Structure formats: structure tokens, C-alpha cells
Chains A and B, each alone.
Chain A
Amino acid sequence: MHTDASMFKVRGLELSLPDFANKQPFGRAPMVDILKGLDFDIETGSVLGIVGGSGSGKSTLGRTLVRLLEPTAGSIVFEGSDIGHLDETGLRPLRRRLQMIFQDPMSSLNPRRRVGAIIADPLRIHDLDRIDERVDEALDHVGLPRAFRARYPHELSGGQRQRVGIARAIAMRPDFILADEIVSGLDVSSQAQVLNLLENLVRELGLTLAFISHDLSVIRRLCSQVLVLNRGTIVEYAPVEQIFDAPKSEYTRELLDAIPLPDPDQPGW
């Protein structure tokens, strides 16, 4: 039985993908290493921030955690069992427990289905009861009127769409949610709303959350632990205060210094 405080134990995680850009006319595409041997734990009830520049592998790491991708090597131990190489059948019971919120709510919500159906659909697959009630509850949780069930995604604003994405994830009452750059496409005003909402949900529902972002300001507000990735390796993994107040790695410091604060006198610029 699982007794540890860690929900995830990741060891030696590697992932390579074929690089079609450099493929020779005949023969296989060469492989590029995206993740180069990562070791870390995610504690139950913690909010983990994953940061890094483009090409750092942060999105790939996230998608591997919820097993949208299969790692090339290494293990992902979730609640005591290795899920790194389970097949589709083996993963099905886990799908309810591992949920994801996507960066672009427009493309992650099927444009041909209504909000109600979008939220209810995963519930149906897992044969949950009281589906109508759960959908209403989820909409309440994210602060959308219940009447929105009848709307199509393109009839909503960006912030509202992202709330639907969140509602779909929390309706399942998952153990773990991966949020992949979920505010980077939003205006600052709705960005703040979505972040506040997420903060409340984490507290109310006791979620364990991994929050991928390129924006350290957002990470500081929300996360308890931060994992800094650069070119597929972990540069720093520490509590959030340490990352911001006493960063150990040069790369983390560089990231922090590069954030443009709304202040004309920010030092270093």
C-alpha cells in the first residue's frame, strides 16, 4: 500500500522524439533527446511550478506525467505503481485521476460540442453517477452561470473558455491536475481572474497541481515548489521562496532578471 507523502516519484526520465526536420530522404529520422534523465518527486497536496524557456522540454515533461506521451526510459511511479509504460487498457482507470488543462482553450474544446457535453463527456466514460449535478457543480466552482451548458466554445470569451477547461478537469475530482501554460494566452485582466480561481480551487478541493509556465511572476503567486528546466535537464528544484530569494543556478537568475516588471526604474535593464 502507498504510504509515502509523494504522489509522483520520477526517476531517470528520458524521452526522445524523431526529428523530421533533419530526416534524410531515405532511412529513419534521427532522434532528438527532449528530456535527459530527470529525477524528482511531487508531494501530495503540493503545487509544483515547472518553468523554462521554449525548447526546455517543460510541456513534454507535463504530457509525459499524465501519460499522453510514453517515456523512452526511466520510471514514473504514481501512488506506488509505475505507470511509465502502461498500455491504453492499463491507463484507462488512471485517466480519471490524472487530468489536464490545456494552454489553448479554443483548440482543446471540441468546437462542435456544447459546454455541457464537453464537461459531461469524461464523466460518462468513467460511468460516474449524478452527471448533471456534477456538471452544474463544476460550473459553479469556476464561477460560470449554469446556463452556459448550452453554449458553444466559440461563443465564449478567452477567460470563460479557460474556465470551461478547468471545470472539465475538476468535475472528475482527479488526484492530480496538470495545467499547461493556461494563462499565457489571456489578457492580464482575465489572467488574474483565472489564477485567483485556480488558487481558490487548490485550497478548497485539496488539489495536487503541476503548473507549467514561462512566467515566473505567476509561479510565485501559486506554487509551493518550483522546478526549473533548461534543455531537458533540471537546473534547480527548490521551494518557491528559495527560487526567488536565493536562486542557486545562473539560469534561474537570468530568468528572474529578464522579467519586465511594470516599473521604469527596475535595476538591470
Chain B
Amino acid sequence: MRDGRGTIKRKAGLKLWLSGGWLAVVAVLTLFAGWISPHDPLTQDLFASRLPPFWAAGAEPGYLLGTDSLGRDVLSRIIYGGRVALTVAIIAGLATAIVGSVLGLIAGYYRGWADAVISRLVDIWMAFPPVLFAILLIAVLGTGLWSIVIAIIVIDWTRFCRVVRAETMNQSQMDYVASAVVAGHVRSAILWREIGPNVLPTIVALLSLEMGIAVIVEAILSFVNLSISTDAPTWGGMIAEGRISIHQAWWVLVCPLIVLFLTVLAFSQFGEGLKDRFDPVLR
């Protein structure tokens, strides 16, 4: 049958390709940072400080996005900063998704006391302001990559839990669940085999969004100097440093900001696109 589905598919496809393409570029650059980045991100060269990016007057060849006030290459620092960002995004995103979704599935499907406990916990959790909570956690755990990952899991599992719980309750009302009961499935099998796959698109969309959020959280924490060791380049750290010299060298601030913005946007759009693609019925 011919209807409006064709156009939606094409749009979803474009969204998916654009965002996926950007993420792939970032991933490849950071994965092979050692070979690709034109300079060492930490080497200072005070004679080449505050060089403008390639299109501006006074640019030096070899410093595509210019240098910062200590003469470090901005492009190389963005690439190495991407390493931290993507590592945090993937590990923290996945772990958060798993913890939150499992609890959400259990609460939404079994209801009763399990739901009461988990839902109460979510309510209490969400009363904490997330950024303050994160800073507090880092203060306790100490700085470092793993502290950031743990902080993100601890703060953000509720996002998954709430949405997955609601979607699970929704799906549990569907007659295909009743028909699985009539067929004689045990309850746990119904949860994993029947409901799970139908909640998965929601989880995938959220996961992608969460990865974007993880990138932002990492940037915020490194902005306030609570991320990994201060000399390693991070996007948030670069933005913080660039802020100081904004009148002399705006590109030190703007370049990582744009990359951060595009990456977070790409993550959220990628999730949307995947959700549409995943759905066989395209509701």
C-alpha cells in the first residue's frame, strides 16, 4: 500500500546519515589521534601563541584552527579532547542505560512492592539538583575518568528508569502480552522476549541522548576543573581556558564549543533516527 511512510523513512534516513556521519568522523579522529593530529596537544610554543585559524589573516600553515595562548595547536587539542568525551559517552551511556532500563523493566512489569521501592527511589533521587550532585560526588570520589563515569551513572539512571517503566507498563497492557500468558510463557520470559524488544527502540533513543548528556556533563566538570588531570586536553577545559582570552583569541573558545555542540546534537538526532529505523510498524 502506498501512503506517507516513504517520506518519513527518507527523512529519518537523512537524519541518521548526517548525525551518524559526524559521530563516525569524531570517532575515527579520536581513535587514530596519534596519527591524525598534526601536533602534540601538550607541546607549548610561546613563539607561536594565539595564531588565528587558517582563514584569518596572519595564520600559519600547519595550525588549521590556530593556537591558544600557550601556543598549543587547537585542532590537536580538540581531537585529543574528543577521546575523553567519547570514552565517557560510551562507557557511562551504556552503563546508565543498563542499570536504569533493568530497574525500569522490573518496576513496570512486576509492579507491586518492587515498583513501589524503585519508584520511591527515583522520586527521591530526582529531588537532587544534578550538577550539584555531580560535583558532590566528584568531591567524594576524587577526579578522574572513572569518577566521572560513576557520577553520571549514579545521577542519570533515573532518566532511563522512569521512561522505560512507563513504556513497559504501556506495553504490558497490550494484548500480545496477554496472548503470551495464554500461550503459557513464564513471566520472566514474557518480560525479556516479548516486552523487551518492544521497549528497545525507546532505550536506544534514550541511550544516544544519554551519550550526548554524558559529553556535556564531562565538559561541565572539566570546565570547573573537576575532570581528569588538568593538563590533559578536554573540551570543557578548552572552553574554560578560551573564555579567559576571548578578546584576543576567540577561536580557542569557539572551535571546541562548536564541536561540542555538533557532537551532542548528533547524538540526540542519531537516537531519533535509530528509533524510527528500528520500528517495523513506524508508529
- Are chains A and B touching in the complex at the 8 Å CB cutoff? yes
CB-based nearest A residue for B182: A100
Whether the Cβ atoms of A102 and B280 lie closer than 8 Å is: no
Count of chain A residues near B, Cβ 8 A:
28
Whether the Cβ atoms of B281 and A102 lie closer than 8 Å is: no
Whether the Cβ atoms of B184 and A92 lie closer than 8 Å is: yes
B186 at the interface (CB under 8 A from A): yes
Q: Which chain A positions have C-beta within 8 A of B62?
A: none
Bitwise, B156-197 to A at CB < 8 A (1) or not (0) is 000000000000000000111011111111110000001001
A154 at the interface (CB under 8 A from B): yes
CA distance A92 to B189 in the complex (A): 13
Whether the Cβ atoms of A126 and B182 lie closer than 8 Å is: no
CB-based nearest B residue for A101: B179
A95 at the interface (CB under 8 A from B): yes
B198 at the interface (CB under 8 A from A): yes
A168 at the interface (CB under 8 A from B): yes
Q: Which chain B positions have C-beta within 8 A of A102?
A: 175, 178-179
Whether the Cβ atoms of A152 and B183 lie closer than 8 Å is: no
Whether the Cβ atoms of A95 and B184 lie closer than 8 Å is: yes
> For residues 107 through 139 of chain A, which have their beta carbon under 8 Å from a beta carbon of chain B?
107-112, 121-122, 125-126
Whether the Cβ atoms of A108 and B181 lie closer than 8 Å is: no
Interface centre among A92, A96, A108, A126 (most CB of B within 10 A): A108
CA distance A88 to B174 in the complex (A): 19
Bitwise, A81-98 to B at CB < 8 A (1) or not (0) is 000000010001001101
Whether the Cβ atoms of B186 and A88 lie closer than 8 Å is: yes
A108 CB contact (under 8 Å) in B179, B186, B198: B179
CA distance A121 to B175 in the complex (A): 16
Q: Which chain A positions have C-beta within 8 A of B194?
A: 110
Whether the Cβ atoms of A68 and B197 lie closer than 8 Å is: no
CA distance A92 to B184 in the complex (A): 6
Whether the Cβ atoms of A110 and B184 lie closer than 8 Å is: no
> For residues 163 through 190 of chain A, which have their beta carbon under 8 Å from a beta carbon of chain B?
165, 168, 172
Q: Which chain A positions have C-beta within 8 A of B182?
A: 66, 68, 95, 98-100, 122
CA distance A92 to B182 in the complex (A): 9
Whether the Cβ atoms of A104 and B198 lie closer than 8 Å is: no
CB-based nearest A residue for B278: A112
CB-based nearest A residue for B186: A88
CA distance A5 to B204 in the complex (A): 54
Given contacts A88-B186, A95-B184, A152-B280, contact A112 B197 (CB under 8 A): yes
Interface centre among B174, B182, B186 (most CB of A within 10 A): B182
Whether the Cβ atoms of A107 and B175 lie closer than 8 Å is: yes
Bitwise, A42-57 to B at CB < 8 A (1) or not (0) is 0000000000000000
Whether the Cβ atoms of A68 and B178 lie closer than 8 Å is: yes
Whether the Cβ atoms of A88 and B187 lie closer than 8 Å is: yes
Whether the Cβ atoms of A154 and B176 lie closer than 8 Å is: no
Tell me how far the C-beta of B166 lies from the nearest C-beta in chain A, rounded to whole angstroms. Answer: 15
List 23 A–B pairs whose Cβ atoms lie within 8 Å, in order of A's numbering.
A63-B178, A88-B187, A92-B184, A92-B186, A95-B184, A96-B184, A100-B178, A102-B178, A107-B175, A108-B174, A108-B175, A108-B176, A108-B179, A109-B179, A110-B197, A110-B198, A111-B198, A111-B280, A112-B280, A125-B185, A126-B184, A152-B280, A154-B280
Name A's B-contacting residues (CB within 8 A). 63, 66, 68, 88, 92, 95-96, 98-100, 102-104, 107-112, 121-122, 125-126, 152, 154, 165, 168, 172
Name B's A-contacting residues (CB within 8 A). 174-176, 178-187, 194, 197-198, 280-281
Other contacts beyond A68-B178, A112-B198: 16, CB < 8 A: A66-B182, A88-B186, A98-B182, A100-B179, A100-B182, A102-B179, A107-B175, A108-B176, A110-B180, A110-B198, A111-B280, A121-B180, A122-B182, A122-B184, A152-B280, A168-B183
